[in-house]
Amino acid sequence: MPEKQTPKSLGYRWPAEWEPHEATWLSWPHNRDSWPGKFTPVPEVFARFARTIAAFEPVHILASGAALEQAEQFVGGTANILLHEKGTNDCWIRDHGPWFLQHAHEPAALVDWGYNAWGNKYPPFDLDNAVPEYVALELGMRRFSPGLVMEGGSIENNGQGTLLVTSQCLLNPNRNPDLSRSEISRMLSEYTGADRVLWLFAAEDGSIPGDDTDAHIDQLARFVTGDTLVAVANDPAEQGRARLPLLDTLQTQLKSLSDAQGQPFTVIPLPLPNPVFYEDQQLPASYANFYIGNGFLIYPTFRCARDASTGKLLKDLFPGREIIGLDAVDLVWGLGAFHCASMQQGLAHPRPVSA
């Protein structure tokens, strides 16, 4: 049964993504409606992603039926990959998966948020909504259920008491229409252990072109250390490319914020790739959708010149990790990339580590 006490009251915390992992969780892609007319290359892209992670840490993959058979063909027998017979509606486990909590001396636990496919945009989503409960039972973990709709891609966590969110997503009436900003902030604090929730885009549209999530933060800005963020930005040297006013707003707002200790953040500009289109539809291609694991960082590449320079920037920010670019042009037709498709399981107990 879900717990009534909150994780914060019991001493749990939600670790930052760069802290050591027990494993990574994935949901195998199978929903052809998510990649209309272009599903064929997606399983191989996903398999490459899973195999790359498995070289560094264990990988759990959820699938059932024909999807499970396909996953076995692509990655079955790969060291460090474990397949689970659990059905899903789609592969975006960042948003439907559990948030793993750690404690100084108690066993690990997880948070089971409600999930409604980004505001009931893509029914059905019942199988995805059941993933956290399945994982809790599979791992024998304590499960906390806040009764709130929340997606992992909508929250950034610096691991030091600060969360970063966008108003457009969390205050959207298609998620939690009866809750105020202060009520959502309180719930996030109680179920992650954070002390401060910072809100962006109070009055503006924060969505990059092609985004269908109502401005998930993991497409816009990412913590790389407790006091430093990368944030997508307009390139002042590019006179021929249309500027996105929302990116100027993003930079201004981030530079005005401070962390839970009252200190300002360092904000490093992150370029956007060249626009990616499929059948005249612009897709939400963003280098911010990278995934950090044990000794590695995987970032999406989009077959443009900025791929290499972005990799160099990330290497400078994460000198102790292997920086791996994986082609995401086919994957992003599903309107997500590698961060959207993964969920980290942090260690049960904290261990000091740098990004």
Query: What does the alpha-carbon distance between residue 73 and residue 50 come to, in Å, rounded to a whole number?
Result: 13
The conformation of residue 306, written as its DSSP 8-state character, comes to H
The alpha carbon of 268 is separated from its chain's Cα centroid by a whole number of angstroms, namely 19
- CA pair distance 292, 339, nearest whole angstrom: 8
Measured CA to CA, the distance from residue 333 to residue 310 in angstroms comes to 21
Single out the residue of 334, 350, 346, 352 nearest to residue 92, CA to CA. Answer: 334
d(CA 324, CA 345): 20
Name the catalytic one among 91, 169, 304, 340: 340
112 near 97, Cβ under 8 Å?
A: no
Q: Quick one: DSSP state of residue 97?
A: S
* CA nearest neighbour of 324 among 345, 346, 307, 305: 307
Q: How far apart are CA 31 and CA 47, in angstroms?
A: 16
Are 326 and 290 in contact, with CB atoms under 8 Å apart?
Answer: no
**Whether 169 is catalytic:** no
Q: Rounded distance, CA 63 to CA 55, Å?
A: 21
Q: Which two tokens stand for residue 66?
A: 């024909």
Let me know: does 320 contact 354? Beta carbons within 8 Å.
yes
| Residue type for position 130 | A
Enumerate residues 6+ apart whose C-beta is below 8 A from 239: none
Give the active site residues: 340
